[in-house]
Structure 1
């Protein structure tokens, strides 16, 4: 139990006070959560959106702002965990969806949009020679891993502690719902030991799956030497290297693999690429992906009723080709780098062990006194401190993830970023003693 320097309040007491203020300020969200819990375990159907004492119920969104059921307006820095890149009401996205609706939905055959969208994605991402669509990032990673196991006729998969590749591929802790792939676990950003483990597994290892920057794991970038070591080691053993770019493809015009010049065998995609609608995709080397060609003897089956749904195809194609151009991607991520540096400058000026890790338009707040290279480096941050900072920032109109994740969207303007920086400074100043006591 941390005690704030020079005060009589403990971290736990401060959190209780913040939760009481939050509850008093949000009676309608509280009522709606209790009502929802009668039909859904915990009152929601997506675990990451739950937090104590109850999550805000959102009623509407416009641009880069959301409004809750009690009428409070927030700047949306959650950005639907990177999927909300275009904001909540982009006219080009809305127009594309309305046009698709006017021509009919659930058509039950190839449509006029999917091949154009596939070609745009292959043109955009260097490692993607062929691509197939699905319905989520979870699905894209499941299909990619299954394809790797079929292509190599091997069974084992290597992943990294703290990684997240979907609801059934969660490696930040025990998850009894994980897919039953035989797993080999390694430490993120430990190039030498990962390469040694890959070599030791030899012809038993089908694939290595890695995020070129951890998303759920705290926006911790992979070191280029680490990724290159994975590429070299898998090339020697014949295992396939899979880059999970479901989140990170937004960080550069050609994704992080294009930016870093490291070519994996397969790439998984999702989130914003659906234009705000449900979407997933997996692609890569033609010789692997062509095994899905139904004209080919012994082709691998790939099902999914909504893989090519016209609304996602329309929104995704419009977003990628008309809005999130390469120049726009570069500009947005430069703004993100500047914001992250600004937040770190505020904390450094106060002498507080709070830092924002990340890259470009994705970042995450941590309490840490040393370098952050893997999730274990920030595991010591008390949950109560993370929860407190989240509630404090919500109270100041900044909507972000409970775990401290902050993302940028295209509608954000300088005043929105200034507002976050000002709120961050006010919260750190108010909680300085608790932060120092908690991390010491």
Structure 2
């Protein structure tokens, strides 16, 4: 199917680029439908009980999503008998791959000891210590949650309680969990009902302009930022921008919060904040994804005087509930992962591997609309004529149809990635896997050259 597609794509007639892309997508979609009848049947059945057959928005894509039957290592296997090399890594949570022996053994052992204690247990203390050590010196105390979304909820609650203020500075294109999305500079209707001040990413002037307005000067509780914006296109924060946020927070008496739910894997596994000088680091950090060893996980922590608001030994302590905050499966898996597998040395090697891969992808995409952004083992591909991308607005008008084509093309060739172009490497991927990915991206470039070449 792909050979015929390669030969049938022609240079578009002037003014008919959209039609040419639509025709190419139709061919890919028809091939996809032909190859995945069982996934279609499973999806159709799901629509009878779930709205749109979906309970996690990011997993849906047209014409219908794959149904995965099982996974092992860096491989996914669908209900129709096809296998894929997993380049998505569960949106960074799948750092360890799908069957890391130490992780699976830790989970099995935990199951044998009992699924739920309703009590403190040793693994939670060990995991907390491992995280504190990794993020030292600015992770003095921390608490567990079940997701990054919950971690954001609690970090913002802490900031508001600590400062006695109510306004939150966020960034256009930012995402801090299911209740904190600011796509295109708009607060989502399902967001938690805070009073948000939406600034432009990588623009410290936009932050100052908001924070210094008379109605805001003494009412900013927190600035929350992803040091690399994630779902908005994997755009790293410039050092001067991150340092500027620290200065504004200091001047305004606000709590600076880093959302490192995705980026905590960076460099030596201690996040992007590890590259900043101590005086420029955040007051609080939110964590999640990989640290739970593949299980549901979140955490927030930082300065002692803020986190001690939750100390139950203190009078009028803030309450923080959650039946599964210290659930035995996550604590066991996370502890083994942090202590025995994802060492600082392993983290640095994965980070460097990602940097090398992104450079290779940039090389095979030269002269096209394909732009690779990211840092370390997290990256994103977008289709745009823009050359200097520092914030989501720089992408310009989304050329989503070309991204849709790339997604189905890569599935056809056995590589699983997000429809929006997002990738996150796992430790289970081999050099051969990554080389094959580069080769197939290059094949896409050749096949779609008439449609993606820079004019």
Query: How far off is 1:380 after superposition?
Result: 1.8
Task: Give the whole-Å Cα distance in 1 for the aligned partners of 2:12 and 2:228.
Answer: 39
Do 2:178 and 2:191's aligned partners in 1 also have CA atoms closer than 8 Å? yes
**Aligned match for 1:227, one of 234, 237, 242:** 242
Corresponding residue of 2:426:
409
Corresponding residue of 2:321:
303
Question: Any idea what the Cα deviations from partners look like across 1:343-400, whole Å, max 9, x if unmatched?
Answer: 001111xx21212100000000012331111111114232211111111111111100
Corresponding residue of 2:361:
343
Task: Give the whole-Å Cα distance in 2 for the aligned partners of 1:371 and 1:230.
Answer: 22
Task: Give the whole-Å Cα distance in 2 for the aligned partners of 1:198 and 1:6.
Answer: 48
Distance change >3 Å, CA 13–CA 6, structure 1 → 2: closer
Question: Any idea what the Cα deviations from partners look like across 1:75-103, whole Å, max 9, x if unmatched?
Answer: 00111000000000000001111111111
Are 2:375 and 1:364 equivalent residues in the alignment?
Answer: no
Do 1:343 and 1:355's aligned partners in 2 also have CA atoms closer than 8 Å? no
Task: Give the whole-Å Cα distance in 1 for the aligned partners of 2:356 and 2:399.
Answer: 27
Query: How far off is 1:104 after superposition?
Result: 1.0
**Aligned match for 1:237, one of 242, 247, 252:** 252
Corresponding residue of 1:38:
48
Give matches, 1:261-276, under 5 Å: 261=277, 262-276=280-294
Corresponding residue of 2:108:
98
Aligned residues: 434
Instruction: Write out the 4+ residue segments of structure 1 that deviate beyond 3 Å after TM superposition.
Output: 6-9
Query: How far off is 1:294 after superposition?
Result: 0.6
Give matches, 1:38-77, under 5 Å: 38-77=48-87
**Aligned match for 1:145, one of 156, 179, 198:** 156
Query: How far off is 1:259 after superposition?
Result: 2.2
Corresponding residue of 2:191:
178
Question: Any idea what the Cα deviations from partners look like across 1:49-77, whole Å, max 9, x if unmatched?
Answer: 00000000011111011011111110001
Consecutive unaligned residues in structure 2, runs of 5 or more: 1-8
Task: Give the whole-Å Cα distance in 2 for the aligned partners of 1:204 and 1:391.
Answer: 48
Task: Give the whole-Å Cα distance in 2 for the aligned partners of 1:182 and 1:4.
Answer: 51
Corresponding residue of 1:215:
230
Corresponding residue of 2:6:
none
Do 2:383 and 2:400's aligned partners in 1 also have CA atoms closer than 8 Å? no
**Aligned match for 1:158, one of 169, 172, 192:** 169
Do 2:12 and 2:20's aligned partners in 1 also have CA atoms closer than 8 Å? no
Taking structure 1 as the reference length, what is the TM-score of the superposition?
0.96
Give the secondary structure class of the aligned counterpart of 1:159: strand
Question: Any idea what the Cα deviations from partners look like across 1:116-157, whole Å, max 9, x if unmatched?
Answer: 111111100132110000100000001001110111000000
Are 2:450 and 1:433 equivalent residues in the alignment?
Answer: yes
Taking structure 2 as the reference length, what is the TM-score of the superposition?
0.93
Are 2:90 and 1:80 equivalent residues in the alignment?
Answer: yes
Do 1:157 and 1:205's aligned partners in 2 also have CA atoms closer than 8 Å? yes
Corresponding residue of 1:250:
265
**Aligned match for 1:354, one of 370, 382, 397:** 370
Query: How far off is 1:6 after superposition?
Result: 5.4
Corresponding residue of 1:129:
140
Are 2:399 and 1:382 equivalent residues in the alignment?
Answer: yes
Do 1:131 and 1:281's aligned partners in 2 also have CA atoms closer than 8 Å? yes
Query: How far off is 1:199 after superposition?
Result: 2.9
Question: Any idea what the Cα deviations from partners look like across 1:288-344, whole Å, max 9, x if unmatched?
Answer: 001100100110000000000011000001001100000000000100000000000
Give the secondary structure class of the aligned counterpart of 1:131: strand
Give the secondary structure class of the aligned counterpart of 1:55: coil
Do 1:368 and 1:377's aligned partners in 2 also have CA atoms closer than 8 Å? no
Do 2:384 and 2:399's aligned partners in 1 also have CA atoms closer than 8 Å? no
Task: Give the whole-Å Cα distance in 2 for the aligned partners of 1:76 and 1:214.
Answer: 22
Query: How far off is 1:4 after superposition?
Result: 5.4
